[in-house]
Amino acid sequence: MTVWETGINMFNRKPRRGITYLQEQGLLGSSHEEVAKFIHNEDRLDKTFIGEFLGENDEFCKQVMYTYVDQMDFTSMDFVAALRHFLDGFRLPGEAQKIDR
């Protein structure tokens, strides 16, 4: 298993730990832009854990969430298509407080 795959497996159990591990290995930058891009581009990330991470009540996670949404392109989509595209990348967390954020 490669270092990258180890980081992905860690993310799929504890997202913050996986991100920190990849950053410590020099494979992922520390900015919220780089983390949001990683979440968009890495298909092996568990969508439930993506939703949990983006819903955390922590300033860095909030910045990643805002950047994650800003990086999406809804051009030429009707509302329903845009909503489907938006919700395709993660699962909404079960806690109402996390969804409200």
The residue segments making up the domain with residue 63 are 3-91
Cα–Cα distance for residue pair 100/34, rounded to 1 Å: 24
User: Of these residues, 33, 34, 56, 95, which one is catalytic?
Assistant: 95
Q: Is 95 a catalytic residue?
A: yes
Residue 99 located in a structural domain: no
Q: Encode pLDDT of 44-97 as tens digits.
A: 999 999 999 999 989 999 999 999 999 999 999 999 999 999 999 999 876 555
The pLDDT, as a whole number, for residue 59 is 96
Q: How many distinct structural domains can be found in the chain? A: 1
Residue 57 is part of a domain; what is its CATH number?
1.10.220.20
First to last CA, the chain: 36
Give this prediction's pTM.
0.87
Cα–Cα distance for residue pair 88/26, rounded to 1 Å: 29
Q: Does 18 have pLDDT greater than 90?
A: yes
Residue 97 located in a structural domain: no
Cα–Cα distance for residue pair 3/6, rounded to 1 Å: 5
Residue 79 located in a structural domain: yes
Residue 100 located in a structural domain: no
Cα–Cα distance for residue pair 11/99, rounded to 1 Å: 20
Task: Quote the tokens at residue 95.
Answer: 């806690």
Residue 54 located in a structural domain: yes
Residue 96 located in a structural domain: no
Residue 45 located in a structural domain: yes
